[in-house]
Amino acid sequence: MKLSVVATPIGNLEDITLRALRTLKEAEVIACEDTRVTKKLLSHFDISTPIISFHANSGEKGVEKILALLRSGKHVALVSDAGTPGLSDPGAILVSHAREQFGEELKIETIAGASALAAAIAIAGLKVSSFMFYGFLPLKKGRQKLIQQMALEERASICFESTHRILKLIEVLATHAPKRRIGLYRELTKLYEEAIVGDAQKVQEVLVANPQKQRGEFVVIVEAL
């Protein structure tokens, strides 16, 4: 039995590794967040490995289903919709349960590759040698408190944000951290990849003046003090 945690492209399909392709072909089952998304990836590379759904709402039953496959000796590959599993998906929960249940009997391997977090840091041009990563901020409960924490944190703060909430996030940061530089890294590796860097007020002005720049998926970095 083997569990392969496989990174997939975050936008550009050319970013998948040769090792990832081989692993996805060799695996007996692929566990994925959204079967529709993964089917497109597999179809593009002519991979016919069976897939099952495993996402944030799968709960204990979803974890047990994969553990049962591993228990039967299967080679399972775990993927998220994009990037490296384990940050904003249930991958970490599965790996934890698998280690606890099987110990050294189970081989757990990482198939490294694309990561929006690493990609943004690479082109940030900001001080990020030490940082706090928040993943996707909560939609309601605790959101305001976390944003304020990002504004006060001496280390860099990094989070993911989506189209409908990006402007509001920058507005709050402009209130609580007006002097700190912020980087918005939009649609990384995709056709309209873009970086918007400056103090929160400047970034806010750019987004308001250009509503199309509010579209897409974002990595947001608040520079370290």
Q: What is the pLDDT of residues 76-90, one digit of tens each?
A: 999 999 999 988 788
139 has a pLDDT exceeding 90: no
167 has a pLDDT exceeding 90: yes
Helices 166-176/143-152 angle, 10° precision? 50
pLDDT at 56: 83
186 has a pLDDT exceeding 90: yes
pLDDT at 74: 97
pLDDT at 182: 97
Q: Across all residues in the chain, what is the average pLDDT?
A: 95
Rounded mean pLDDT of 113-141? Answer: 94
pLDDT at 57: 85
CA dihedral (103, 109, 115, 119) positive or negative:
positive
Confirm if 78 and 3 have CB atoms less than 8 A apart.
yes
pLDDT at 9: 97
Structural domains of the chain in order of their starting residue, each with its CATH number: 2-111 (3.40.1010.10), 116-222 (3.30.950.10)
Rounded mean pLDDT of 172-182? Answer: 93
Rounded mean pLDDT of 146-157? Answer: 94
Confirm if 8 and 20 have CB atoms less than 8 A apart.
yes
pLDDT at 59: 84
pTM of the model: 0.90
Rounded mean pLDDT of 29-52? Answer: 97
Q: Per mean pLDDT, which range of 21-30, 82-91, 207-216 is the poorest?
A: 82-91
Residues in Cβ contact with 98 at an 8 Å cutoff, skipping those fewer than 6 apart: 3, 66, 67, 70, 106, 108
Confirm if 163 and 137 have CB atoms less than 8 A apart.
no
